[in-house]
Amino acid sequence: MLGFCNATKVVLHLRQNLSVWGVRARNINIGGGVGGEIPDQKRLQYALQHIHGIGRSKAHHIVCELGVENKYVRDLSKRELYSLRELLSKYLIGNDLKKCVERDVGRLVGIQCYRGIRHVDGLPCRGQRTHTNARTRKSRPTWRGTR
């Protein structure tokens, strides 16, 4: 039986070299409390968009602020990766962003304001009409219970 240390090494190796039908998926772990991985076969500006909370404009801003050209992630040096981690630690992204949004919605639900009630009911809360639209927010899966 494999020891705990050997098992984690095997899992990490499999995670980094995952192959599905001949497609090789390799990721670089950003780490440093930032959370998330970015694919190394894409250019930096597009790979950053795989992190929750980073879109096109913020990714472009990050690449410009780093002062590196938009090269492939696998070609980044360790110094560039370190500066990327330092720069990303200034932003609210990943799991921290998800927790913040969840906390904000929970606050709205707790004070029972209009937006909080609409979140609980699963309806749009920004004034959209629901008579003919809002099919995505109004439809509920059957496993949740009856309407």
Q: For the residues of 115-137, what is the DSSP string, one character each?
A: HHHHHHHT---SS---SS--HHH
- pLDDT, one tens digit per residue, over 100-133 is 999 999 999 999 999 999 999 999 999 888 888 8
- Asked whether 92 and 86 are in contact (CB, 8 A), the reply is no
What confidence score (pLDDT) does residue 83 get?
92
What confidence score (pLDDT) does residue 139 get?
75
What are the backbone angles phi and psi of residue 53, rounded to the nearest 5°? 105, 0
What confidence score (pLDDT) does residue 130 get?
87
What confidence score (pLDDT) does residue 12 get?
62
What confidence score (pLDDT) does residue 56 get?
96
Residue boundaries of the structural domains of the chain: 27-90, 95-127
pTM of the model: 0.69
Amino acid at 50: H
What confidence score (pLDDT) does residue 120 get?
93
- pLDDT, one tens digit per residue, over 7-59 is 666 666 656 565 555 555 578 777 655 667 888 899 999 999 999 999 999 99
Topology of the domain covering 27-90 = Helicase, Ruva Protein; domain 3 (1.10.8)
Residue 95 CB neighbours (<10 A)? 13
Of the pLDDT bands very low, low, confident and very high (cuts 50, 70, 90), residue 94 is: confident
- Asked whether 24 and 8 are in contact (CB, 8 A), the reply is no
Burial 9-18 (b: 16+ CB within 10 A, else e): eeeeeeeeee
What confidence score (pLDDT) does residue 109 get?
96
Of the pLDDT bands very low, low, confident and very high (cuts 50, 70, 90), residue 134 is: confident
